Amino acid sequence: MEFEKKQEQLASFRRFIVRMLRYSIFALFLVTFSVLMGTVGYHYLGDISWLDSFHMACMILTGMGPVIEMKTATAKIFSSLYALYSGIAFLSITAVFFAPLIHRLLHILHVEEDDEKEA
């Protein structure tokens, strides 16, 4: 999905809402995929219940930290890799969710790039 250029007219409010919905749905898909991946990994590799696996995946994905100690080396490796993934995923999902809103705000304010200011 492409945003309107600086020289173009600001998108209508209806088009903006549709764009926000699309980006929100995509962000929700990324969250669902990330939680599902963590839940399955913790359940099978960490040998914990589905509910505890879901809880652990959600806590790690949001940056709150682990709630259950991993006992095996495989579980610890998965937990470490999932934590690294979660840090990147959380920032990326946040960027995807807020991109249309930030673009609209900058478009309204007509923020110019630094190169154009110096010229």
Residue 75 inside a domain? The answer is yes
Q: What range defines the domain where residue 109 resides?
A: 13-118
Residue 37 inside a domain? The answer is yes
Residue 4 inside a domain? The answer is no
pLDDT (0 to 100) of residue 109? 83
pLDDT (0 to 100) of residue 4? 76
What is the spatial distance between Cα 57 and Cα 52, in angstroms, rounded to a whole number?
A: 8
Residue 74 inside a domain? The answer is yes
Residue 17 inside a domain? The answer is yes
pLDDT (0 to 100) of residue 7? 76
Q: Residue 96 sits in a domain of what CATH number? A: 1.10.287
Between the alpha carbon of residue 2 and those of residues 16, 35, 103, the distances in Å are 12, 28, 11
Mention every residue, 6+ apart, whose C-beta is less than 8 A from residue 103: 3
Residue 3 inside a domain? The answer is no
- Count of structural domains within the chain: 1
Give 10-residue mean pLDDT values along the chain (119 residues). Answer: 76 89 95 97 96 97 92 95 96 93 86 56
pLDDT (0 to 100) of residue 73? 96
pLDDT (0 to 100) of residue 35? 97
Residue 18 inside a domain? The answer is yes
Residue 55 inside a domain? The answer is yes
